[in-house]
Amino acid sequence: MLSRAARSASRTLVPAPGSRGSRQKHSLPDLPYDYGALEPHISAQIMQLHHSKHHATYVNNLNAVEEKYLEALEKGDVTTQVALQPGLKFNGGGHINHSIFWTNLSPKGGGEPKGLIPLLGIDVWEHAYYLQYKNVRPDYLKAIWNVINWENVTERYMACKK
Amino acid sequence: MLSRAARSASRTLVPAPGSRGSRQKHSLPDLPYDYGALEPHISAQIMQLHHSKHHATYVNNLNAVEEKYLEALEKGDVTTQVALQPGLKFNGGGHINHSIFWTNLSPKGGGEPKGELLEAIKRDFGSFDKFKEKLTAVSVGVQGSGWGWLGFNKDQGRLQIAACSNQDPLQGTTGLIPLLGIDVWEHAYYLQYKNVRPDYLKAIWNVINWENVTERYMACKK
């Protein structure tokens, strides 16, 4: 029996197209496969809950937060704009991440991210430049390239590749 | 010669009033005193850079970020909306924080508060000296860039000391109402005090505008 995601929250246009601040509501994308398609690696029960409950909640909450954000923006209420940020990041991020995720999965699996090994760092704490460059950090950046020790950066790079 | 902040970026109305997403651009507030007014505690050079460069940049960047945010919102581009958040928090917080800070300072400042605020300080911290020690320690102890704050906890009806990182605005991130902020970014003191942040803290108590802090406190309690 098919258990394809049936929640087709359609895209609704809010205010007239082209008017400032108009936006479409976000909607839950359909899965490109049945809930049971990834078994035995990921169960159908997980896929159904994950998609139709968790991801759906991110979508609904994202729409709600964006509405509140627009109101705060119109009122010039920067305090509320900032207070809403965690909700925007969490639910917006949740929607983006899961939308990508469903397409990243198939019965054949995915890859892994890698960490960064530092080779060259540029300190931009104000104490590193202020007495000379004051607020003009870009001038400091222009200057510092004259004193980069490429021998050292190369040593570090070679050590990584072992 | 007066060197009063002359940058009077006027408020410009963007799109028609009342239309969705319309907003006024933010503008740099004038300082209520000359750049040299807080000497010898905070130098004129610092005040001029701090106000006319640092704060001005937050204002300009805030306006730019809000413009981009509105565009992204219209296009349903959530990726960009999230990517813009740090810039909104940083520049929006920077504008809020510095706007409060300039009013928290005065050439006629220093000493101790009086009346209800003093009573609240004694109640919530034990004594004015203990409060001063604590806010100083918290401000000195900020790792990296940030602010020390005296804030008002509306839920509990009491004063509270807190630190925030970078330009995170106190109210937006903790819910506390800001009364008195101490900027401990290096740009606030480095030219004069170098790495010796504690000396800056000692000096700044001489220019705290208790009238303003009291006004803010009284406004909270309504």
Percent of chain A predicted with pLDDT > 90: 28
B63 — pLDDT class (breaks 50, 70, 90): very high
Give the Cβ contact number of residue A141 at 10 Å.
13
In the numeric block, the tokens 């209520």 are attached to B32
Q: What is the mean pLDDT of residues A29-41?
A: 83
One DSSP character per residue, B82-124 reads: HHHHHHHHHHHHHHHHHHHHHHHB-TT--S---HHHHHHHHHH
Give the best residue of A82, A89, A127, A140 to mutate against chain B (max B CB count within 10 A): A82
State how beta strands B146-153 and B23-24 pair: unpaired
What are the pLDDT digits (tens) for B139-171? Answer: 999 988 999 999 999 999 999 999 999 999 999
What are the pLDDT digits (tens) for A72-101? Answer: 999 999 999 999 998 999 899 889 888 877
Domain locations along chain B? 41-221
Taking domain B41-221, whether its CATH number is 3.55.40.20 is answered by yes
Q: Is pLDDT at A16 greater than 60 in this prediction?
A: no
Give the best residue of B69, B74, B100, B168 to mutate against chain A (max A CB count within 10 A): B74
Question: Which chain B positions have a beta carbon within 8 Å of A126's beta carbon?
Answer: 145, 185-187, 190
ipTM exceeding 0.85?
Answer: no
Give the Cβ contact number of residue B143 at 10 Å.
7
The answer for residues whose C-beta is within 8 angstroms of residue B126's C-beta and 6 or more apart is none
What tokens were used for A42? 């990921």
Question: What are the percentages of helix, strand and coil residues in chain B, rounded to 5?
Answer: 55, 15, 30
CA distance A64 to A115: 35
Q: CB B186 to CB A80 under 8 A?
A: no
Closest by Cβ to B85, choosing from A19, A85, A130: A85
Q: What angle do CA B150, B151, B154 make, to 5 degrees?
A: 155
Hey, is the C-beta of B17 within 8 angstroms of any chain A C-beta? no
